[in-house]
């Protein structure tokens, strides 16, 4: 309850700052200057992201510390502000005020540039996701790319360079080992990660994030997690299509049913592969070798302090958030309600509630939100933070791999498995009507 309350409030603050305010401005100036309007329209998502990322990261740190404390019989932050809620804000201010130290013998340019290169991709990598997670909200439609997921992945591959830079430029042996480890790890785990996403793209037949989200609309059975459309026939049948819908989707009879089952299993494995690869990609336990505290002091960021360290820290949590968002969009139906509409609309009160929101002052007059975006955003929040908390739970449970075991696990287990899944999907999808 406490968590739910807090993150709704924080989200609302982010939302008001990042989305509602620019939009109001857009409206105010809309009649007077079309150019200003256009500029604002283009700038709004960027502003939204820039405002959202630090606040969100601060809040995620707080959640992480809270949740960890809960699971490890501790109290967690409880001093700064009511119930310790301002703890991370205070930490952020402290970090920004700290002296910025560049160690002797360090490559000053690279040392400074590394955190920027680490952080920047997480900002522009998040941009195409915006349209997808807000159910293609008109404000964010500008930044939707036809090759959205490709762009996000490409942006996500950049920070590795920054880590190696940071490790090398610090003139510290621990940092160097950390940087090299991160390079090795990222290269190994990028492959299963991308392969698992390619599997999803194959099912969807597109790289467009918005399209992928739209395909998955209509309840949990349509999600890519459960077969990427392999169960859509079942969903349609349940929605009232009856046996005819089944026959249309599973046109080959028993073979189709078997293939649909295979697809479901494959996509669930892909989901797991993606989570594992993503954990390694963003250096979370059990794959946090680049910053293994008990071995490498702090890994690549050992020699960082003050603002530069703050940026590293910020980027790490932002990466976690982005990875969770990608998972949500690619596997968990984006902003889709897990309960299919044919059940939801029969629950008394729900359609009326949606109508009431649509007719309310905020929607009809101010156009701040529309019900679709509103509910989509709520579901995205729930899913993304669910994944974030899942990552925290893993952190609270598992010890760390050794580097050679990590590599062996990546190359000998994950990559063959992702290839097998990929091949199964290639063939099985021919026998079922699915999203793509």
Partner 1 sequence: MATEIQEIDLKTDEMIINMGPQHPATHGVLRLLLTLDGETVKHVEPVLGHLHRAQEWQGQNRTWFQYQALIDRVDYLSGMFTSWAMARSCEQIDGTVVPPRAEYLRVMVSEMNRITSHLLWLGTYLIDLGAMFGFPFYPFREREKLFDLFEEIAGQRMMFNYIRIGGVLRDPKPEWFDKLKRFLDEFPDRIDEYETIVTQNPIFLKRTKGVGILTQAVAKDYGVTGPCIRSSGIPLDLRRTKPYSVYPELKFDVITFDKEGDTWDRYMARILEMRQSIEIIRQCIDKLPSGDIMGKKQMAGMRIKAGEGFAAVESPRGILGCYVISGGGEKALRFRWRNPSFCNLSVLHELLKGCPLSDIMAIFGSIDVILPDVDR
What does the binding site for partner 1 look like in residue numbers (CB under 8 A)? 68, 71-74, 173-174, 177, 285-286, 288-289, 292-295, 297, 395-405
User: CA angle, 118 as apex, 48 and 293 as ends, to 5°?
Assistant: 120
Least distance to partner 1, CB of residue 351, Å:
45
Omega of the bond prior to 289 within 30 degrees of 0, cis? no
Instruction: State how far the Cα of 377 lies from the Cα of 375, in Å rounded to an integer.
Output: 5
Query: What sections of 134-253 are H helices per DSSP?
Result: 148-157, 159-169, 173-204, 209-215, 232-236, 242-249
Residue 76 Cβ vs partner 1, minimum distance, rounded to whole Å: 11
Residue with smaller CB distance to partner 1, 74 or 94: 74
- Nearer to partner 1 by Cβ, of 160 and 289: the residue is 289
Q: How far is the CB of 75 from partner 1 (least distance, A)?
A: 11
Which CB sits closer to partner 1, 14 or 289?
289
Q: How far is the CB of 413 from partner 1 (least distance, A)?
A: 12
Instruction: Compute the least distance from the CB of residue 234 to partner 1, in Å.
Output: 35
Distance (Å) of CA 283 to CA 43, 226, 242, 270, 313: 31, 27, 47, 20, 12
User: Terminus-to-terminus CA distance in the chain, angstroms?
Assistant: 40
Q: Which is nearer to partner 1, 71 or 251 (CB)?
A: 71
Nearest approach, Cβ of residue 72 and partner 1 (Å)? 4
Q: How many CB atoms lie within 10 A of CB 146?
A: 13
Least distance to partner 1 from the beta carbon of 216, Å?
33
Closer residue to partner 1 in complex, CB, 150/409: 409
| Distant-in-sequence contacts of 417-422, Cβ < 8 A, 24+ apart | 417/192, 417/269, 417/273, 418/191, 418/192, 418/195, 418/196, 418/199, 418/270, 418/273, 419/195, 421/195, 421/196, 421/199, 421/266, 421/269, 421/270, 421/273, 422/195, 422/198, 422/199, 422/202
Taking the complex as a whole, the smallest distance from the CB of residue 5 to partner 1 amounts, in Å, to 24
DSSP string, 314-363: HHHHHHHHHHHHHHHHHTS-TT--SS-HHHHTTSTTHHHHHHHHHHSHHH
Closer CB to partner 1, 348 or 399, in the complex: 399
Q: How far is the CB of 12 from partner 1 (least distance, A)?
A: 29
* Alpha-carbon radius of gyration of the chain: 23
d(CA 357, CA 370): 8
Nearer to partner 1 among residue 31 and residue 404 (C-beta): 404
- Report the greatest alpha carbon distance in the chain: 74
Nearest to 280 by CA among 382, 181, 412, 381: 181
Q: Closest CB to partner 1 among 150 and 287?
A: 287
Q: Which is nearer to partner 1, 155 or 320 (CB)?
A: 320
Nearer to partner 1, 161 or 403 (CB): 403
Q: What are residue 432's phi and psi, to 5 degrees?
A: -130, 145
Going by C-alpha positions, the residue among 308, 313, 311, 306 that lies closest to residue 94 is: 306
For the bound state, the minimum distance from the C-beta of residue 432 to partner 1, rounded and expressed in Å, comes to 35
């Amino acid at each position: 309850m406490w968590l739910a309350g807090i993150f709704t409030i924080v989200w609302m603050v982010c939302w008001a700052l990042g989305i509602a305010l620019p939009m109001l401005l857009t409206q105010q100036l809309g009649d007077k200057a079309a150019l200003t309007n256009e500029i604002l329209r283009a700038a709004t998502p960027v502003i939204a992201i820039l405002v959202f990322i630090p606040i969100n990261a601060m809040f995620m740190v707080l959640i992480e510390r809270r949740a960890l404390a809960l699971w490890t019989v501790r109290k967690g932050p409880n001093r700064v502000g009511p119930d310790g809620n301002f703890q991370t804000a205070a930490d952020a201010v402290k970090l920004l005020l700290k002296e910025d130290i560049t160690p002797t013998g360090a490559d000053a340019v690279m040392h400074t540039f590394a955190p920027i290169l680490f952080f920047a991709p997480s900002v522009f990598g998040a941009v195409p996701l915006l349209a997808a997670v807000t159910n293609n909200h008109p404000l964010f439609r500008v930044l939707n790319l036809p090759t959205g997921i490709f762009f996000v992945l490409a942006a996500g591959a950049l920070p590795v360079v920054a880590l190696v830079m940071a490790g090398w430029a610090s003139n510290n042996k621990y940092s160097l080992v950390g940087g090299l480890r991160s390079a090795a790890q990222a290269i190994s785990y990028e492959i299963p990660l991308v392969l698992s996403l390619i599997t999803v793209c194959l099912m969807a037949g597109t790289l467009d994030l918005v399209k992928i989200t739209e395909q998955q609309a209509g309840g949990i059975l349509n999600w890519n997690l459960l077969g990427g459309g392999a169960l859509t026939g079942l969903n349609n049948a349940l929605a009232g299509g009856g046996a005819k819908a089944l026959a249309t989707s599973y046109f080959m009879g028993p073979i189709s049913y078997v293939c649909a089952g295979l697809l479901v299993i494959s996509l669930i494995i892909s989901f797991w592969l993606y989570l594992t690869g993503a954990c390694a990609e963003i250096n979370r336990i059990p794959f946090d070798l680049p910053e293994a505290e008990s071995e490498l002091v702090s890994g690549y960021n050992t020699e960082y302090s003050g603002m530069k360290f703050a940026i590293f820290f910020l980027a790490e949590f932002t990466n976690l958030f982005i990875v969770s968002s990608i998972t949500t969009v690619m596997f968990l139906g984006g902003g889709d309600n897990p309960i299919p509409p044919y059940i939801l609309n029969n629950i008394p009160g729900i359609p009326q509630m949606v109508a009431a929101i649509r007719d309310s002052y905020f929607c009809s007059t101010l156009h701040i939100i529309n019900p679709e975006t509103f509910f989509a955003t709520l579901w995205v929040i729930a899913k993304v933070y669910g994944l974030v908390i899942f990552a925290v739970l893993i952190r609270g449970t598992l010890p760390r791999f050794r580097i050679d075991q990590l590599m062996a696990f990546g190359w000998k287990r994950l990559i063959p498995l992702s290839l097998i899944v990929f091949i199964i999907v290639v063939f099985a999808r021919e026998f079922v009507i699915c999203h793509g």
